[in-house]
Chain A
Amino acid sequence: MTDSKYFTTTKKGEIFELKSELNSDKKEKKREAVKKVIASMTVGKDVSALFPDVVNCMQTDNLELKKLVYLYLMNYAKSQPDMAIMAVNTFVKDCEDANPLIRALAVRTMGCIRVDKITEYLCEPLRKCLKDEDPYVRKTAAVCVAKLYDINSQLVEDQGFLDQLKDLLSDSNPMVVANAVAALSEMNDASQSGSPLIEMNAQTINKLLTALNECTEWGQVFILDSLANYSPKDDREAQSICERITPRLAHANAAVVLSAVKVLMKFMEMLSSDSDFVSMLTKKLAPPLVTLLSSEPEVQYVALRNINLIVQKRPDILKHEMKVFFVKYNDPIYVKLEKLDIMIRLASQANIAQVLSELKEYATEVDVDFVRKAVRAIGRCAIKVEQSAERCVSTLLDLIHTKVNYVVQEAIVVIKDIFRKYPNKYESIISTLCENLDTLDEPEARASMIWIIGEYAERIDNADELLESFLEGFHDENTQVQLQLLTAIVKLFLKRPTDTQELVQQVLSLATQDSDNPDLRDRGFIYWRLLSTDPAAAKEVVLAEKPLISEETDLLEPTLLDELICHISSLASVYHKPPSAFVEGRAGLRKSLPARSQEAVHEPNANQSGGGATATVIPSQDSLIGDLLSMDIGGPTVAPNSVTSQQQSAAVDLLGGGLDSLTMNNSTSPSGGPSQSTTGLLGDIFGFSSAQSSMYIPPKTVWLPADRGKGCEIWGSFSRKNGQISMDMTISNKAMQPMAGFAVQLNKNSFGVTPARALQVLNPLPVGVSHETSLPLLITGPVQRMEPLNNLQVAVKNNIDVFYFACMIPMHVLFTEDGQMDKRVFLATWKDIPAQNEVQYTLNNVQLNADGVVQRMQQNNVFTIAKRNVEGQDMLYQSLKLSNGIWVLNELKIQPGNPNFTVSFCTFYAVLPHHICTTKYLFFFNNWLFLKIFKLN
């Protein structure tokens, strides 16, 4: 007779039928009915309507029936909280039953019913059960405390269950101890405060270690996991715990082994790495880890992910065990991929031959993902073990000859990296690579191939043809490929300028004019500008010697690795992510490896870096293989020291047409007309109100009128003090209610101005109150050209709404304190600045003599380099530097007694722009300077 019959029920009136059966007098029929109910529940049918009838069956001396009713209650109590109360009496009674099995069952079930009213009644029975004479009941009650904590943590703390649970740690029965430990760890993890509820001391640890020898395999796991959270007070204690745990490595249960490994890995950190004990432990750890690879595939997977961490932390442990990670034909794919990862980590000169022959074997398998990874692994071996590079390259060549599409593409990607590690060594194979050009259809492979062609353009006779062939479908390519193609062609041009001019023009115009991608456009502009102004600098930048790529590109960051070591055998160790990344809620106590304590006594300074002290230095994350392609720009930018005399070399002619039209476009457009700009700057500086002794601060103007700001009115201005630009605002509440929660955001702007901190305003701002606030600004924000240039778009938010307005940054706050140029540099530069960068102007009605002008200008970070008197006229030569590195030189001609000054301005920039957009400024800078800032009429 089987239970499957309970699943087949009549459809119509099913609930009704069950109801009457449940209320039957015959025990047998009742039991059958409950089974049918449970069967329905199991397959997901809603049988909650039968709640009262099922609960009525609860008082029975039949244990099987009781269990089923309890099961039903656990499932439906939450949806029927009021009726669940009916069950409380029976629960309480069952908690006092003579049979421990029933007592335990009752307390276990009650803990699973998440209904507040029932929880209240749970406390008393639970308190009794925690002291029950039968260990089976005590161990069940111990877990029940953790269940209760999950429902109502406050209740557990108030009712003193924590202390009772702590007492159970000294229980005579090892199973009870194990469950108490498990419950405590669970609660510690969930604790709101983040600090452990109960601190372990040496005494409790000792009890746990004793119980470890006697409890079930699962209990051993609970105890070991909780030991891993303990911090021994010194190395002696750490070593003695390690000694007592080591035998667990011989347990048949993989979970016991891994938890023991966790404790050992953690406590080893406290021991001197050259002690005999540590070297003994290192030897002892390898065999159990290897044996884990004979367990079930899922357990193997967990073991491999953990071994991956262990190999990074302590490479010594498994360095001789390469062979056990060889892939078997019937391994599941997830095991294969993990084994491959570890093989690469363990690859060394000693075993590289074997590793390579294995990898070659794998590269001919059928599973595409696996094959790809195997090919990639060959490349990584080449980079990691220098002596093997040649063999790796020839292996890769063999693979390319197979002509299997994805193998070829993957091989080309890794060969590019090999070139980057060993430049000028294996270029003989380029011709073979070029044969496969047509088969490359993946962006990464295409980009890699293009990089290779560009990098070695001088050795590839038909490099121009090859690159040109890619250019045809330029706009259909992936961005990665486009960027690479742009760079490669520029490289080619710099190497062979004679016959590739047309090609470079073509790609520049494709990138700058026809593309929507800002990265591509900006890179295009930079190259264009570089090539047109200073090909020598362009050569230095584009063809700069690149740093070699580092060997270990995918190591975990050391602090993360240390944290994960503390989480060995847990989910975090498999994900290689800290628990906070995938566990909801509590930020969590970050675990970290203990520091070595003893050292501190001998060398007081050795302890500073904590657990990471022994970690090896690892190259920064930005050298990841994935990023390699973009290094032409991002990495080693070689800034030309100062671009001075070569400005007008042939490059301008070279690109003449295009460039001219660009410059013309910008300089001839009378651009936007003056908008609501404040009075001309120089005029302000020169001061019609002359009472100033420090930098000129324009008076505040209305930025946001109250009617547009729903009662919020903002007046503002900008100032510069000690090199700090500030946005000074008066915010007034003219509404009928208090305002709160002010915040500000600046849109991208020409100078990258961005708030240095949050806006600080009286919170709340009462009705009718004005608040003065000053927002310090940085110039490190994103840059985007605005029209007019000093336009700044601001968004201010409060609890009422978000408001947008625009204001003008007065130019002089952007003049930096280090704007004084060396005299000789000034002279040389003045001569060399092309005429088109020079503009003359007349300032009218200035009531100051030359000395007054010098002083006033100095206060505003315009520095006088020299003063001459020529034919009765005072000539002032001045320099200033803008916050984005652009220099402005000017010459002031002052005739004593004549209030009209003549000014000449020159601009140039001496620092290679760190913001791409800066290049564009050149095109319109002159124009703007006069129209917006020195506009006097």
Chain B
Amino acid sequence: MGVIEKFMPLLMEKEEEGLLTPLLQTTDCTFAYIKYNNLYIVSTTKKNANIALVFVFLHKIVQVMTEYFKEIEEESIRDNFVVIYELMDELLDFGYPQTTDSKILQEYITQEGHKLEIQPRIPMAVTNAVSWRSEGIKYRKNEVFLDVIESVNLLANANGNVLRSEIVGAIKMRVYLSGMPELRLGLNDKVLFESTGRGKSKSVELEDVKFHQCVRLSRFENDRTISFIPPDGEFELMSYRLNTHVKPLIWIESVIERHAHSRVEYMIKAKSQFKRRSTANNVEVVVPVPADADSPKFKTTVGSVKYAPEQNAITWSIKSFPGGKEYLMRAHFGLPSVVCEDTEGKPPIQVKFEIPYFTTSGIQVRYLKIIEKSGYQALPWVRYITQNGDYQLRTN
């Protein structure tokens, strides 16, 4: 039948050859696909398509459908195929993505099926300059929640040298505001401070800032003002990235002694290198172990250790880890006398944590001005949290 019939065989073939890329070329067309759960979401093109757009769009489909159906997998596709057809109709036309904002879509493509007498109308937002917010939204209590979340990415080599560390920050908002409010967000942005003669105040140099489409980019380019009409509800207003040279927040030293054919011993030392008055919560140190290790034995003063054979790893969990402390854990495994044929990689140690009321970068929300023509008073709430991002420490 269709060209899509060729997709799975080709995919298998490439996978076997170890040449799998997100693009598969056939004589008829190119497949661009992503995998989500047990589903492949595939697009085809015969032209020199904008492939970045294709992939971003495929991920957008996943996002929209997740917001519609909670989970997308084979079953939810079957259960909702009529709506999915309708959605696809609005999401793109002749290969050109159209409306992909699920909040707006939900206003005229609903899951219940329409009552026969009332026909749906297109929300103004579909073609408005403000395509992400509908008019006439009403709340009794006008509130805005701002979460500043910083994820720390770290890559350290086995000698304990930090190869790379960066902070990826995001400002997430939950907006419960009536009408069409105009918001202005003030940060302690270094470029702004310097241009307005406040160079001496504590400020942060944001290396690369990305904004939600609601933010007026040219305005930011001109005078660093972050001004926007927010979508309703939850969304990510902006993200930023900066390279830091600060100490890794949680440092792990590991000593691994492998005695071939008999046992392997781990000594893991975790050190918190942030201020004493802060505390990291839900710290997890995930230490990979050989697949054929057996009879685990652990010893630790703090927290608990679990062996997860399915992941070939042990997880050391510490509920609360105050700054400036150092904890130790020892683990012991037996190894079989017959060595397994397959060579194993050396997965790194990974660390998970959350430190509330704290940002590594020192970014601060100075103000959030909310102006709506009805003149209501709204309350902004701000939270700060630092957590692990891609936090990897290579082992010997």
What is A's interface to B at a CB cutoff of 8 Å? 2-4, 6-7, 27, 35, 38-39, 42, 44, 61-64, 67-68, 71, 99-102, 105, 108, 111-112, 134-136, 139-140, 143, 146-147, 173-176, 179, 182, 186, 189, 213-218, 221-222, 225, 244, 246-248, 250-255, 258-259, 287-288, 290-291, 294, 296-299, 301-303, 306, 323-324, 326, 328-330, 333-334, 354, 357-358, 361, 364-369, 567, 569-575, 579, 582-584
Asked if residues B155 and A64 are in contact (CB atoms below 8 Å), the reply is: no
Residue with the highest number of chain A CB atoms closer than 10 Å, among B82, B164, B207: B82
Checking B53, B89, B344 against A366 with a beta-carbon cut-off of 8 angstroms, the contacting residue is B344
Asked if residues A67 and B51 are in contact (CB atoms below 8 Å), the reply is: no
Q: Report A-chain residues with C-beta under 8 Å of the C-beta of B25.
A: 575, 582
Q: Report A-chain residues with C-beta under 8 Å of the C-beta of B99.
A: 216
Asked if residues B81 and A39 are in contact (CB atoms below 8 Å), the reply is: yes
Supposing A62-B114, A298-B55, A574-B23 touch, asked if A366 and B345 sit within 8 A by C-beta, the answer is yes
Asked if residues A221 and B53 are in contact (CB atoms below 8 Å), the reply is: yes
Task: Name the segment of B119-127, B135-143, B255-263, B327-335 touching the other chain.
Answer: B119-127
Q: Please give me the 4 A-B residue pairs with the lowest Cβ-Cβ distance, nearest first.
A: A287-B208, A2-B79, A247-B217, A579-B48
Distance, CA A20 to CA B23, complexed state (A): 45
11 of the cross-chain contacts (CB-CB < 8 Å) are A42-B81, A101-B121, A108-B93, A216-B100, A218-B98, A247-B221, A250-B210, A255-B52, A291-B210, A571-B49, A575-B25
Q: Report A-chain residues with C-beta under 8 Å of the C-beta of B23.
A: 571, 574-575
Distance, CA A244 to CA B221, complexed state (A): 9
Q: Report A-chain residues with C-beta under 8 Å of the C-beta of B211.
A: 250-252
Task: Give the shortest distance, in Å, between B49 (CB) and chain A (any CB).
Answer: 6
Q: With CB as the reference atom, state the residue of chain A lying closest to B25.
A: A582
Q: Chain B 290-311 against A: per-residue CB contact (8 Å), 1 yes, 0 no?
A: 0000000000000000000000
B385 CB-CB contact with A under 8 Å: no
Checking A173, A222, A290 against B241 with a beta-carbon cut-off of 8 angstroms, the contacting residue is A290
Task: Give the shortest distance, in Å, between B159 (CB) and chain A (any CB).
Answer: 9
Asked if residues B18 and A297 are in contact (CB atoms below 8 Å), the reply is: no
Within 8 A of A (CB), among B45-104: 45-53, 55-59, 75, 78-83, 85-86, 89, 93-94, 96-100
Q: Report B-chain residues with C-beta under 8 Å of the C-beta of A186.
A: 94
Asked if residues A71 and B168 are in contact (CB atoms below 8 Å), the reply is: no
Asked if residues A329 and B392 are in contact (CB atoms below 8 Å), the reply is: yes
B359 CB-CB contact with A under 8 Å: no
Task: Give the shortest distance, in Å, between B342 (CB) and chain A (any CB).
Answer: 8
Checking A112, A251, A328, A571 against B51 with a beta-carbon cut-off of 8 angstroms, the contacting residue is A571
Residue with the highest number of chain B CB atoms closer than 10 Å, among A100, A297, A301, A302: A302
Task: Give the shortest distance, in Å, between B283 (CB) and chain A (any CB).
Answer: 20
Q: Report A-chain residues with C-beta under 8 Å of the C-beta of B323.
A: none
Supposing A61-B119, A222-B96 touch, asked if A291 and B85 sit within 8 A by C-beta, the answer is no
Distance, CA A297 to CA B85, complexed state (A): 27
Q: Report A-chain residues with C-beta under 8 Å of the C-beta of B356.
A: none
* Count of interface residues, chain B, beta-carbon cutoff 8 Å: 84
Q: With CB as the reference atom, state the residue of chain A lying closest to B48.
A: A579
Distance, CA A225 to CA B127, complexed state (A): 21
Checking A100, A179, A246, A584 against B96 with a beta-carbon cut-off of 8 angstroms, the contacting residue is A179
Q: With CB as the reference atom, state the residue of chain A lying closest to B210.
A: A252
B239 CB-CB contact with A under 8 Å: yes
Majority secondary structure, A binding face: helix
Task: Give the shortest distance, in Å, between A886 (CB) and chain B (any CB).
Answer: 49
Asked if residues A584 and B119 are in contact (CB atoms below 8 Å), the reply is: no
Q: Report A-chain residues with C-beta under 8 Å of the C-beta of B18.
A: 333, 368-369
Q: Report B-chain residues with C-beta under 8 Å of the C-beta of A4.
A: 75, 78-79
Checking A7, A218, A291 against B97 with a beta-carbon cut-off of 8 angstroms, the contacting residue is A218
Asked if residues A68 and B82 are in contact (CB atoms below 8 Å), the reply is: yes
Q: Report A-chain residues with C-beta under 8 Å of the C-beta of B85.
A: 38, 67-68, 71
Task: Give the shortest distance, in Å, between B223 (CB) and chain A (any CB).
Answer: 12
Asked if residues A334 and B22 are in contact (CB atoms below 8 Å), the reply is: yes
Task: Give the shortest distance, in Å, between B333 (CB) and chain A (any CB).
Answer: 20
Asked if residues B157 and A296 are in contact (CB atoms below 8 Å), the reply is: no
Q: Chain B 107-127 against A: per-residue CB contact (8 Å), 1 yes, 0 no?
A: 010000110100111100011
Task: Give the shortest distance, in Å, between B230 (CB) and chain A (any CB).
Answer: 14
Q: With CB as the reference atom, state the residue of chain A lying closest to B20.
A: A334
B34 CB-CB contact with A under 8 Å: yes
Q: With CB as the reference atom, state the residue of chain A lying closest to B80.
A: A3
Supposing A38-B81, A296-B59 touch, asked if A111 and B121 sit within 8 A by C-beta, the answer is no
Asked if residues A3 and B79 are in contact (CB atoms below 8 Å), the reply is: yes
Distance, CA A579 to CA B30, complexed state (A): 12
Asked if residues A35 and B49 are in contact (CB atoms below 8 Å), the reply is: no
What is B's interface to A at a CB cutoff of 8 Å? 1, 18, 20-23, 25, 30, 32, 34, 45-53, 55-59, 75, 78-83, 85-86, 89, 93-94, 96-100, 108, 113-114, 116, 119-122, 126-127, 129, 131, 155, 157, 163-164, 166, 168, 207-213, 216-218, 220-221, 236, 238-239, 241, 343-348, 390, 392, 394
Distance, CA A111 to CA B79, complexed state (A): 29
Q: Report B-chain residues with C-beta under 8 Å of the C-beta of A569.
A: 50-53
Task: Give the shortest distance, in Å, between A135 (CB) and chain B (any CB).
Answer: 4
Distance, CA A646 to CA B35, complexed state (A): 73
Asked if residues A139 and B127 are in contact (CB atoms below 8 Å), the reply is: yes
Task: A61-B116, A215-B131 are known; give 5 further A-B pairs, CB within 8 A.
Answer: A3-B83, A99-B119, A99-B121, A105-B89, A244-B218
Task: Give the shortest distance, in Å, between B5 (CB) and chain A (any CB).
Answer: 9
Asked if residues A63 and B120 are in contact (CB atoms below 8 Å), the reply is: yes
Asked if residues B21 and A301 are in contact (CB atoms below 8 Å), the reply is: yes
Asked if residues A143 and B93 are in contact (CB atoms below 8 Å), the reply is: yes
Q: Report A-chain residues with C-beta under 8 Å of the C-beta of B20.
A: 333-334
Q: Report A-chain residues with C-beta under 8 Å of the C-beta of B209.
A: 250
Residue with the highest number of chain B CB atoms closer than 10 Å, among A101, A111, A579: A101
Q: Report B-chain residues with C-beta under 8 Å of the C-beta of A330.
A: 390
Asked if residues B56 and A254 are in contact (CB atoms below 8 Å), the reply is: yes
Checking A108, A135, A298, A574 against B34 with a beta-carbon cut-off of 8 angstroms, the contacting residue is A298
Distance, CA A2 to CA B213, complexed state (A): 34
Asked if residues B100 and A218 are in contact (CB atoms below 8 Å), the reply is: yes
Q: Report A-chain residues with C-beta under 8 Å of the C-beta of B56.
A: 253-255, 299
Distance, CA A369 to CA B20, complexed state (A): 12
Task: Give the shortest distance, in Å, between B27 (CB) and chain A (any CB).
Answer: 9
Supposing A4-B78, A27-B116, A68-B85 touch, asked if A574 and B51 sit within 8 A by C-beta, the answer is yes
Asked if residues A583 and B46 are in contact (CB atoms below 8 Å), the reply is: yes
Asked if residues A38 and B82 are in contact (CB atoms below 8 Å), the reply is: yes
Asked if residues B347 and A214 are in contact (CB atoms below 8 Å), the reply is: no
Distance, CA A354 to CA B157, complexed state (A): 11
Asked if residues A213 and B216 are in contact (CB atoms below 8 Å), the reply is: yes
Supposing A64-B82, A99-B121 touch, asked if A361 and B51 sit within 8 A by C-beta, the answer is no
Distance, CA A490 to CA B160, complexed state (A): 52
Distance, CA A246 to CA B209, complexed state (A): 13
Q: Report A-chain residues with C-beta under 8 Å of the C-beta of B49.
A: 570-571
Q: Report A-chain residues with C-beta under 8 Å of the C-beta of B164.
A: 323-324, 326
Q: With CB as the reference atom, state the residue of chain B lying closest to A146.
A: B94
Q: With CB as the reference atom, state the residue of chain A lying closest to B126.
A: A136
Q: Report B-chain residues with C-beta under 8 Å of the C-beta of A358.
A: 163
Asked if residues B116 and A298 are in contact (CB atoms below 8 Å), the reply is: no
Asked if residues B81 and A3 are in contact (CB atoms below 8 Å), the reply is: yes
Task: Give the shortest distance, in Å, between A293 (CB) and chain B (any CB).
Answer: 10
Asked if residues A302 and B81 are in contact (CB atoms below 8 Å), the reply is: no
Distance, CA A390 to CA B88, complexed state (A): 58
Asked if residues A259 and B79 are in contact (CB atoms below 8 Å), the reply is: no
Q: Report A-chain residues with C-beta under 8 Å of the C-beta of B114.
A: 62-64
Distance, CA A538 to CA B197, complexed state (A): 78
